[in-house]
Structure 1
Amino acid sequence: MINLIIRKVLNDYVAFINDFKHQFSPNMEEFEKKSSRNRSGHIDELKYQFHGAGCRLEKDGVICEFDFMPANEYSIKFCLWKMREFILTNKAYGIVKLEEPELHEVLHTLVEDGTLVKLVLGSVVWEIYQI
């Protein structure tokens, strides 16, 4: 089932994050400065908390975690666990159980078709997806 909706999930995930970024600070340079000062808070009904190189967003029970470091041309980074959490907490998808191997396989197909890119540092390919 996840195969059928993963592109919608990915679009929703990116839109969720981009909406927060725009409300928090539309300028990426200012976003980075502001995020180092305002580590947690609320914007309307959206709760945010920055941690290390990442951020946790929560709105209406939906949990959306993402990373934004190391800085490169891809502004959103996530691991399998973060995407799984987003899917399982979003009641709109109607998915109550999702095995990590199944999600890994689906994300791998998105890497193969160029929708997602894995993070490479030095010669190490990390299980971190970028978009």
Structure 2
Amino acid sequence: MNEAIKELVNKYINNIKDFHSVLCRVYHLPKPPTYNEAGRLFPRDGLLQIGDDTYSYRYHGSGCTLQKNDLIIDYDLDILNGFNVSITSWKFSRFVESYSTGTPALDTDNLEKYFVELAEEGFLVRLYQDRYVFLKDIE
């Protein structure tokens, strides 16, 4: 199961990288944006049509809720510890459920358990002891 979760984490991260690349191209940003730059260097929320892909996004707090076509990608950026994406089991389960539409569902009830195992393997890094938040570098 961990291999399936790893693959989905990589897809999650790659979709965020893709979105950041789109923002850089569309708004002529020199580097991927942080939530602090939303509303100053580019609109805090918007709808972008790039080829066959539609990106609907809204920056909030320390993160962004993104819908790329039918995928839901809700993430936070931890810019204090590098340029990383915080992954929580709840936010990640939203991605998994939207990604898995029409395919056999992944067991999202045990995501926290899988995240702990992936942290023990060194694939993810556990940030907080009281909740399951992990960092995955997106630079």
Give TM-score scaled by structure 1 length: 0.81
Shift of 1:110: 0.8
Pick from 67, 79, 89 the counterpart of residue 80 of structure 1: 89
What pairs with 1:8-47 in structure 2 (closer than 5 Å)? 8-25=7-24, 27-28=31-32, 31-32=33-34, 34-37=37-40, 38-44=43-49, 45-47=54-56
Could you tell which deviates more after superposition, 31-40 or 52-61?
Answer: 31-40
Could you tell which deviates more after superposition, 8-17 or 66-75?
Answer: 66-75
* Partner Cα distance (2:77, 2:45) in 1: 16
Letter in 2 for 1:128: V
Which residue in the other structure is 1:69 paired with?
A: 78
The share of aligned pairs that are identical, in percent, is: 25
* Partner Cα distance (1:36, 1:16) in 2: 22
Letter in 2 for 1:23: V
Letter in 2 for 1:64: I
* Partner Cα distance (2:102, 2:121) in 1: 23
Deviations 1:91-112 (A, max 9, x none): 3682446343x11111111100
User: What is the root-mean-square deviation of aligned Cα atoms in Å?
Assistant: 2.2
5+ residue gaps, structure 1, are: none
* Partner Cα distance (1:105, 1:90) in 2: 20
Name the count of aligned residue pairs.
Answer: 124
Shift of 1:74: 4.5
* Partner Cα distance (1:74, 1:19) in 2: 15
* Partner Cα distance (1:92, 1:5) in 2: 16
Instruction: Give the direction of change, closer, same or farther, for the CA distance of 1:97–1:104 in structure 2 (3 Å limit).
Output: same
5+ residue gaps, structure 2, are: 25-29
Instruction: Give the direction of change, closer, same or farther, for the CA distance of 1:114–1:97 in structure 2 (3 Å limit).
Output: closer
Instruction: Give the direction of change, closer, same or farther, for the CA distance of 1:81–1:27 in structure 2 (3 Å limit).
Output: same
User: Which secondary structure does the structure 2 equivalent of 1:84 belong to?
Assistant: helix
